[in-house]
Amino acid sequence: MTNMPLFTPVTIGKRTAVNRMVINAMECNDADEKGNPTPKTYGRYEKLFQGSAGVIFLEAISVGYESRARKNQLSVLPHNKDALKSFVSALKKVNPEPLFIWQLTHSGELSQPDFSRRVCVKPLPGYEGDVLTESEVEEIIDRFAQGAKIAYDSGADGVDIKLCHGYLGTQILRPYNDREWKYGGSWDKRSRFAYDLYDRVREAVPDPDFLIGSKVTLWEGIPGGQGTAGPDTAVMDLTEPLDLVRGLEEHGAHFIMVSAGNPNLTVALAHPDRRIPEYAYLHHLFQQATRKVLKPETVVIGSAYSIFRDGNNNFPAAEKENKTLLYWANKNIREGLTDLIAIGRQSFADPLCPAKLRDGKAEEVSWCTLCDLCMELLVRQKHAGCVVYNREYAHILAESRKNEGNIEFKPV
């Protein structure tokens, strides 16, 4: 066993995570046509549960099916109840320890029009869709509350109300949403959606043991994006995101997962890669800023740690041992920038990574190469997973490139 801060327990709400390593939400687009988990979904999560992270986030699961980003996305609707319950029960048998938190989402303007209804709050160039009415947004809020109740009844430990990465939560929160309506214009009106969501979710699941929180983009990196100073400037201004996380805390958030960017528009910011690894340092700043404004009992989860690997990376001016994932995770936790750290792509590359690091077997970890070929699979609407360490996904990608040719997304 190790004495690293990363592998010490932490209290989240009334629950305990056995360590501070978190599996980030990672969509894999491998549900069946009803939005239920398939044997492939089971296989992925069983491995993650064997990996012994303190917290495992379920990938973005859609609160509605008519508007969704992935063709084979999981959904959390009444007809999914039994399948989701069996899913949780199977995973808890593999390992009862990890807290299992579901990321509830609505994709809004990122819903794919080829197979679903694209909707928006204010048309963004390249992402136009049907403009949502107030009553449609209220219906969506009901769907989130329904999703949370299904998650609770299925045995999940909590929900992550997704407010990041350009999905509907972001679309409503961003200054670009300057349309004058119940959920747009002033910050009070734009943030009201998130607070209404929290209130409705808590009403649907009054159990105080059930965790609520959000993954939040602090700066989206587009004009008028989340964390900018106005509807037509890209200048970073954290006033609103920091006010938001404080407001979420007041409305019952137990955790905030800090993120940045929008994988459709500013991918290197959302998933720091070899082109601009320094974006990972910006994530540290966002984690620290969030940590500073919250009460000690509201935990902060930092994301975007895959880039650090085993120190074999492009970060300049540091010895190899001072630029590893373990180095930055332990340092940032020790120095109070964040309470837990999450891995996204690294969990694809090696789902057993947390257990290996805990057991002092870092040399056995298959480190993510940051090639973003898994992202290319997702953009191609294929089953997503690690192309480098799993032949099955390498084959899917090769076939798709052969049959469908090049696409706009350029991996690293």
Ligand X SMILES: Cc1cc2nc3c(=O)[nH]c(=O)nc-3n(C[C@H](O)[C@H](O)[C@H](O)COP(=O)(O)O)c2cc1C
- Do 374 and 348 touch, CB atoms closer than 8 A? yes
Q: Which residues of 232-242 are buried (b: 16+ CB within 10 A; e: fewer)?
A: eebebebebbb
Q: Which one, 262 or 346, has the nearer CB to ligand SF4? A: 346
Binding-site partner at residue 6 among ligand SF4, ligand X, none, CB < 5 to 8 Å by type = none
Under rule CB under 6 A, residue 345 binds ligand SF4: yes
* The one-letter amino acid at 126: G
Stretch that binds ligand X, among 113-121, 169-177, 310-318, 373-381 (CB under 6 A): 373-381
To 10 degrees, the CA torsion angle through 82, 88, 92, 94? 90
CB of 222 to ligand X, least distance (A): 17
Residue 71 or 182: the one with the smaller Cβ distance to ligand X is 71
- The site for ligand SF4, by CB under 6 A, has a size of 13
**C-alpha to C-alpha distances, 263 to 242, 249, 329, 412, nearest whole angstrom:** 21, 26, 23, 14
- 259 binds ligand X, rule: CB under 6 A: yes
The entry of ligand SF4, ligand X, none near residue 119 (CB within 5 to 8 angstroms by kind) is none
103 to 142: interface string for ligand X, x by CB under 6 A:
x---------------------------------------
Among 12, 88, 119, 368, which residue sits at the site for ligand SF4 (rule: CB under 6 A)? 368
- For residues 217 and 345, give the distance between their C-alpha atoms in angstroms, rounded to a whole number: 18
Nearest distance in Å: CB 386, ligand SF4: 3
Piece of 2-10, 76-84, 94-102, 341-349 that binds ligand X (CB under 6 A) = 341-349
Q: Please say which residue, 184 or 255, places its beta carbon nearer to ligand X.
A: 255
Residue type for position 76: V
Say if CB 368 and CB 383 are below 8 A apart: no
Interface with ligand X (CB under 6 A), residue from 201, 378, 387, 397: 378
Quick one: which segment of 109-117, 218-226, 245-253, 370-378 binds ligand SF4 (CB under 6 A)?
370-378
How many angstroms separate the Cα of 61 from the Cα of each of 2, 99, 174, 407, 411?
34, 17, 22, 25, 25
- 3-state SS record for 204-273: HCCCCCCEEEEEEECCCCCCCCCCEEECCEEEECCHHHHHHHHHHHHCCCCEEEEECCECCCEHHHHCCC
Neighbouring-strand partners of residue 105: 62
Query: Does position 271 bind ligand X by CB under 6 A?
Result: yes
Binder among 6, 31, 60, 163 for ligand X (CB under 6 A): 60
348 binds ligand SF4 (CB under 6 A): yes
Among 122, 215, 284, 291, binds ligand X (CB under 6 A): 215
Strand partners, 37: none
Say which entry of ligand SF4, ligand X, none residue 141 contacts (CB below 5 to 8 A, set by partner kind).
none
Q: Is 386 in the site for ligand SF4 (CB under 6 A)?
A: yes
At its nearest, how many Å lie between ligand SF4 and the CB of residue 373?
A: 4
What's CA 215's distance to the chain center, in Å?
A: 6
CA angle 235, 240, 243 (to 5 degrees): 150
Contact 305, 341 (CB under 8 A): yes
187: which 2 tokens?
Answer: 């910050």
Site residues, ligand X (CB under 6 A): 24-27, 59-60, 103, 164-165, 215, 259, 270-272, 303-307, 343-346, 374-375, 378, 384
Site residues, ligand SF4 (CB under 6 A): 345, 348-349, 368-374, 386-388
